[in-house]
Chain A
């Protein structure tokens, strides 16, 4: 049966199991919106700006494990979407983005709202397609979902010229996707797995370092088994938070630039470091020459190009984290059948004692104040109030790091943050996508006053679509992270960082039909959080915090992880910083 291309697109989405689409209509995609008018079984959420559609799809994908979908028009809509695509690219989030395009005969003519969409998105997607023939619609959409969700997940973009959407075509729906040029490797090499197990069994100072790949691969259960089987201390990257419960005795919390002292020390002094679904990002390694200098490194990753990109590893294992961990568990059980050598046992005992000492001596800490709200306290109270059972989304900046440090994560797929790209404004639209995907669940967007303003228009979407996202603004009246760097590294020459208290967030919330609350004193915080959680509508909780508070510990950029700054900078630290070649 023939049907218009627009209808084929919707049929394909339905067959693909898509139930939610985030989008914003426009000229080139009008045929799809027309087909959507009486199409059953697809919920469309109208966003206010296209990047928000992309971020919402990311939130949907990260928390459900399914592919997120967004749909926008040509030209400016596609270029607005680019930020979300690159964000999903850096964090390996599976989304499929549809954009409209001018009719095929006008492509290249500088037509109204034309842009070279596929040319623009080529470097910021895992793959992209321009549909030039309506018979390819089905196969291309099928491949798009296949590519987005398999191997190392990522964003895929499909560009749809208007005439293709209008003309009638046969619906072609291949049952199986077969691509000769794309065959990800899922099973780790058995020999390498065995080597890794041998190393772990004999390690005196082992550490597991786990990232977002564990979450993408749904490997948390296997990871926990591995950690408990060998009693391996475990640290998580920003993207990996939730892969392992933070209240677990083996948890070392987050590592890296703003990670815990004990995690960075443990990694630095380890003799066997097993990276699972993590990519040795510069915010994790600091100075690469000084990263885990004594360790034999095992790297488990689905993406071969992640291996030995930044740090040369001894035991590379290309494969799906879950399947490799299952094999590694078996291999390790085999190795552990023999009683470990006394030296190993003694080494492990000392290692555990050393880590406990570090944890005891240098926990995350801040100075309490009775007068002004400390931002870390806000996160702690959110963590207490939710018991780690809420979906947490953040913007980018100081509040993001405090959320990562002080929230007690329990479960995977309940944490969304822009890790790789560091996209300010990510918070609200992503939280919106999370809420739409998880109706009835508590979704809290921890945001900054700078970050939140970049997408605050989405409050309208939250209100009209009935998405009761709770936003806590850690309001320090400025771009706090920039201020922190200017304070520590640029000799307090504060430049372009002040955001005077405009808008009034409570009134802004009310203008959008949402509920606004404000906290200025520590004593008001807990009741306000309780009230926020109890409110069924979208809420902004504006918490005015100490603007001088900095995120510590901190590894200066380009510095070694052992050079952590643990407390507010002294003159000596500032002098050291000013002499640094990289300016940190």
Chain B
């Protein structure tokens, strides 16, 4: 187990290095740079600035300087936001994105497992048909539509209640988090519901369920201990990529609900060619996702004994 985790961590570091390298060269090949601005800058000033930021050095030298700094955990200072270290931006805003993402994933996973199990139990009957229809909506309607509808719903709810149950936007308390997390997790929840349903139906015909019935076990014990646990395995497998989709896809929801998460800085930095912020956030996201996939793999080992001996 220890060796397995160590090997996965080493693979993870290599993956992150690859992400950093690819991002670095892609960024430098895109037209424009962080020193471009609305005001016309004379060639001399520009040359001075380039020298100051080290942008006049050969590309490979810049690359190695960058790698060396990154290895020490230093992502540098933002080009466009004065005196802000990239590390500070990440530290301050990622906490918010992570809290939102974790809540969204929890909603998605619990909801997906619950609805999926329910549709399988009521196969081809009314609850199944209704839920599967909603699932198609959940998969095909884009997140910003749900975000807008969510806000509209919150406004009407608060008006009907006469007090503010859920704030329409902003950040701070748990009640700020609930609606955006639901909206953010909706697509993934719909996807997981489908997965859980098919997995439940596949297992419904398994020989070991017949064995459980032959042992005379009560129906709810068969469902909990024999069917559900085995049906969840495929859902756990896709949780890693789902976390990826939710944390990086949070940008739109953060924008609509005025949540000061990292996603906004990530997108802004790309528009402004803010080299250090792009590099910092990309590498950070990459490292985070690689780490989450490893965590999910380890969790999988606890749910399914067959993968433990890897």
Q: Bound pair: A and B? A: no
Q: Which residues does B use to contact A, with CB under 8 Å?
A: none
Q: Which residues does A use to contact B, with CB under 8 Å?
A: none
